[in-house]
């Protein structure tokens, strides 16, 4: 790999990787961060708190608050706004909040989504594990090269790395938190600075006289391997930087032979290697001594986007060699589907899409890949794209024809949701990738036609809905956040998150939103009201909330006038391994089975019964009250999309009997009719039904939820 080396700028000045996090009040430095993926920055959660003038170790999610990030491009400074996309607050080893006397903690991570074109941020640095004995560097949040502190990793223990500074030069102090711990030997980030140990003080907080026994220049950091463990569930790590060459990789000898066959002359190898180094933004070797086929092949199997770029350079002069390179590269787990330019262009197109369309990308992925055993995760855009790139094809191809990669098919479906101009941009991008891959235009056109048909079907069946997040406040009052979704994704209509409401006031607020909707002329269905709650509020009687207005002719009961369902994202995402089961069950909603739980079951029994019954899409819970909540919550956590129960009834519920023959998809309207009957004639309709409804085809808004914690 000697001919292809790390970019000279990164070698000469690794402080360029430091991103400054600025205080919202005055623009001063709150701390540091570094680029995680194409448009995300990683920093400490406590740095965000400082930037927002909150208590340093505040564990509450900061919501939609905006912070400013700044970075250097040589001698020029750039800045842009960012908001918190993922939040892991500081916590003790016991999982509790950090107190004033705690000098070590865990978590303390914030992933910031940066509101800037993807090409503007500095490139993401390579990452490596933190190990004892490493000599490392850290910088102040202002990123100035002169602030470099020379450190040694003295221990990595229990998820924390302990760093000792040299007795001369800069010491880690205020403003270093969140910055990268850089290893000059590995040319990689090996961790993130979190805090330092201050000299001891007296009762008044003044430093004690110096003693040789005092702890001197000791700081601690989160090792990169620990950060990976924390962030992996969110799918935001991406795959950037150089991997280590695996000499046993089966693709290596095949690529060497293909390169030798395609590039016979030294001049050809120099020219194509020079262009490849330029495309991949690495420093090239000698223009007199050509790289060997082994060096080129090693680079293709260590830089994740080099093989895609190399195939593009070969496509026109050597099309058969390009096909061989792609086929052999597929045998290795390192190469990604897209070249650096293709990936940058795609992110640029996606960053230009409306947020409503971006929120529906997971929906487009599920529609485009209906037979995929495990659908891509949807925790972040980077995670979704990373998963899609790892899929070699969508499963359909005639003999001798290259399969269309899953990513291209999904982008066709995403384009079908876009306005004409942005759809054209995505299609031109897909055409270019398909040409580089040697894919027949007819094959891509077939997927494009499928996407158009899907978009037409969405317009035909998408039901207008209002989403209401309800949170409990003091003395029977509730917090509300409301969104409308007319088919293009959730659109927030309430901004005030501090006002609380009584049940009647909340009903009036929701009815005002419902009355403001313009329904399609050809759709006579009333809007669906989807109430988003946490696990403790599943039985909250929102369907009975009544908009009591003096002098009004009709009362306005939410669950009587509109089909009202509950949705608990907290339980649905609690165990990420069941998310594919949820989507698979939802896809079978019209043909799947119904399970009636009519005997008392504990959580373990319901778990063992449902965990492998993926054809069960609906569970009717008809058990005594003392075990009902446990059964309901277990069903939701296992990914059952539709669960029905009576919030107050005993076993042998009238609700369960009444809805037994109702088709699952018709349940929201049938339950509404039942509630209307109960309001008119309670003896004939004695139940108080609850319908939990988790639609995998409709996106949720970005909610302020605590991070999922899994008990195993």
Residue 205 belongs to some domain of the structure: no
Mean pLDDT of 649-659: 85
> What pLDDT is attached to residue 432?
95
Q: Does 193 lie in the same domain as 75?
A: yes
User: Is pLDDT above 70 for 9?
Assistant: no
Q: What is the pLDDT of residues 460-497, one digit of tens each?
A: 667 889 999 999 888 889 999 999 988 777 888 886 66
Residues 154-165: pLDDT tens digits? 999 888 999 998
Closest C-alpha to 228, from 153, 319, 127: 127
Question: Do both 537 and 400 map to the same domain?
Answer: no
We report the CATH number of the domain holding residue 183 as 2.40.10.10
Q: Check if the beta carbon of residue 374 is closer than 8 Å to that of residue 580.
A: yes
| Residue 700, domain member (yes or no) | no
Q: What is the pLDDT confidence band of residue 627, given thresholds at 50, 70 and 90?
A: confident
Nearest alpha-carbon partner for 348 in 244, 422, 399: 422
pLDDT class of 182 with cuts at 50, 70, 90: very high
Of 392, 283, 405, the C-alpha closest to 333 is 392
- 181 lies in a domain? yes
Contacts of 619 (CB under 8 A, 6+ apart): 594, 595, 596, 597, 610, 635, 640, 642, 643, 644
Q: Higher-confidence residue: 24 or 710? A: 24
Q: State how far the Cα of 402 lies from the Cα of 315, in Å rounded to an integer.
A: 14
Domain presence at residue 151: yes
Q: What is the largest CA-CA distance in the chain?
A: 94
Tell me which DSSP letter residue 261 carries.
Answer: H
Task: Please state, for a pLDDT cut of 70, what percent of the chain lies above it.
Answer: 87
Q: Does 210 map to a domain?
A: no
| Whole-angstrom distance, CA of residue 611 vs CA of residue 595 | 13
- Same domain? For 306 and 347 the reply is no
Structure tokens at 285: 């070797």
Domain annotation covers residue 712: no
Among 461, 487, 519, where does a domain finish? 461
Same domain, yes or no, for 380 and 487? no
Tell me, yes or no, whether 631 lies in a domain. yes
318 and 344 assigned to the same domain = no
**Per residue in 553-600, pLDDT tens?**
778 899 999 999 999 998 988 887 888 889 888 888 888 899 999 877
Strand partners, 595: 619
Query: b/e string for 459-479 if b means 16 or more Cβ within 10 A?
Result: eeebbbbbbbbbeeeeeeebb
Q: Are residues 635 and 582 in the same domain?
A: yes
Q: Please state, for a pLDDT cut of 90, what percent of the chain lies above it.
A: 41
Q: Residue 473 is encoded by which pair of tokens?
A: 């406040």
> Are 112 and 127 part of one and the same domain?
yes
How many structural domains are present in the chain? 4
Give the position of tokens 């395609």.
262
Q: How far apart are CA 545 and CA 510, in angstroms?
A: 10
pTM of whole model > 0.75?
A: no
The tokens describing 428, both together, are 């031109």
Domain boundary among the residues 434, 461, 488 is at: 461
Domain annotation covers residue 101: yes
| Beta pairing, strands 149-157 & 188-196 | unpaired
Residue whose tokens read 């995998």: 696
Last residue of a domain, one of 443, 461, 479: 461
pLDDT at 252 over 70: yes
* Same domain flag for 375 and 499: no
Query: Do 435 and 290 lie in a common domain?
Result: no
112-121, 180-189, 482-491, 633-642: least confident range: 112-121
Residues 449 and 597 in one domain: no
Domain that includes residue 136, residue range: 8-200+215-234
**Cα–Cα distance between 558 and 95 in angstroms, integer?**
39
Same-domain status, 614 and 665 = yes
pLDDT at residue 712, rounded to an integer: 29
CB 117: neighbour CB atoms within 10 A? 15
- Residues 43, 161 within the same domain: yes
Say yes or no to pLDDT of 73 above 80. Answer: no
Instruction: Please say if the pLDDT value at position 549 is more than 80.
Output: no
Q: If pLDDT is split at 50, 70 and 90, which confidence band does 394 have?
A: low
């Amino acid at each position: 790999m000697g001919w292809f080396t790390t970019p000279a700028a990164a070698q000469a000045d690794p402080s360029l990787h430091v991103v400054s996090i600025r205080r919202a009040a005055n623009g001063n430095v709150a701390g540091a961060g570094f680029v995680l993926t194409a448009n995300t920055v990683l920093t400490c959660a406590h740095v965000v708190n400082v930037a927002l003038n909150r208590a340093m170790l505040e564990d509450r999610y900061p919501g939609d608050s905006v912070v400013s990030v700044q970075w250097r491009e040589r001698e020029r400074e750039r800045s842009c706004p960012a908001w918190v996309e993922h939040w892991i607050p500081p916590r003790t080893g016991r999982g509790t909040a950090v107190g004033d006397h705690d000098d070590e903690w865990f978590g303390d991570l914030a992933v910031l989504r940066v509101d800037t074109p993807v090409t503007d941020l500095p490139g993401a640095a390579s990452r490596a594990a933190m190990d004892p004995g490493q000599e490392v560097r850290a910088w102040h949040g202002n990123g100035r090269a002169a602030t470099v502190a020379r450190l040694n990793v003295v221990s990595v223990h229990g998820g924390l790395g302990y760093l000792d500074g040299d007795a001369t030069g800069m010491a880690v102090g205020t403003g270093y938190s969140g910055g990268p711990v850089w290893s000059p030997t590995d040319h990689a980030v090996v961790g993130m600075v979190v805090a330092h140990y201050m000299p001891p003080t007296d009762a008044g907080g003044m430093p004690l006289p110096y003693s040789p026994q005092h702890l001197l220049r000791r700081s601690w950091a989160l090792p990169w391997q620990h950060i990976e463990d924390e962030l992996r569930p969110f799918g935001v790590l991406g795959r950037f930087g150089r991997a280590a060459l695996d000499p046993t990789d089966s693709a290596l000898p095949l690529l060497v032979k293909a390169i030798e066959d395609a590039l016979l002359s030294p001049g050809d190898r120099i020219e194509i290697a020079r262009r490849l180094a330029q495309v991949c933004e690495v420093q090239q070797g000698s223009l007199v001594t050509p790289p060997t086929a082994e060096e080129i092949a090693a680079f293709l199997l260590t830089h994740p986007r080099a093989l895609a770029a190399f195939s593009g350079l070969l496509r026109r002069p050597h099309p058969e060699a390009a096909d061989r390179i792609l086929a052999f590269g597929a045998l290795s787990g390192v190469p990604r589907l897209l070249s650096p330019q293709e990936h940058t262009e795609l992110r640029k197109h996606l960053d230009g899409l409306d947020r409503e369309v971006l929120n529906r990308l997971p929906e487009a992925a599920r529609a485009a890949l209906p037979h995929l055993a495990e659908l891509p995760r949807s925790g972040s855009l980077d995670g979704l794209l990373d998963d899609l790139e790892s899929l070699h094809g969508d499963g359909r191809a005639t003999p001798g024809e290259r399969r269309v990669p899953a990513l291209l098919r999904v982008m066709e479906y995403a384009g079908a949701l876009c306005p004409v101009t942005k759809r054209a941009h995505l299609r031109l991008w897909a055409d270019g990738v398909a040409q580089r891959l040697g894919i027949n235009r007819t094959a891509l056109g077939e997927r494009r036609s499928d996407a158009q048909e899907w978009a037409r079907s969405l317009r035909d069946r998408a039901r207008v809905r209002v989403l209401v997040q309800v949170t409990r406040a003091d003395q029977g009052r509730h917090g509300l956040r409301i969104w409308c979704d007319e088919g293009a994704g959730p659109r927030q209509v309430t901004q005030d998150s501090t006002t609380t409401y009584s049940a009647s006031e909340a009903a009036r607020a929701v009815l005002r939103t419902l009355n403001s909707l313009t329904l399609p002329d050809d759709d006579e269905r009333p809007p669906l009201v989807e109430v988003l709650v946490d696990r403790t509020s599943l039985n909250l009687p929102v369907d009975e909330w009544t908009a009591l207005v003096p002098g009004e002719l009709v009362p306005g009961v939410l669950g009587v006038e509109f089909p009202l369902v509950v949705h608990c994202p907290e339980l649905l995402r609690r165990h990420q391994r069941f998310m594919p089961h949820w989507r698979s069950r939802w896809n079978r909603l019209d043909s799947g089975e119904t399970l009636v739980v009519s005997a008392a079951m504990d959580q373990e029994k319901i778990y063992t019964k449902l965990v492998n019954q993926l054809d069960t899409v609906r569970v009717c819970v008809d058990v005594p009250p003392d075990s009902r909540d446990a059964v309901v919550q277990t069903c939701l956590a296992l990914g059952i999309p539709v669960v029905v129960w009576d919030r107050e009834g005993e076993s042998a519920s009238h609700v369960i009997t009444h809805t037994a023959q109702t088709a699952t998809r018709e349940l929201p309207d049938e339950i509404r009719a039942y509630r209307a009957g109960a309001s008119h004639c309670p003896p004939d309709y004695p139940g108080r039904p609850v319908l939990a409804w988790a639609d995998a085809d409709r996106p949720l808004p970005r909610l302020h939820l605590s991070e999922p914690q899994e008990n195993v």
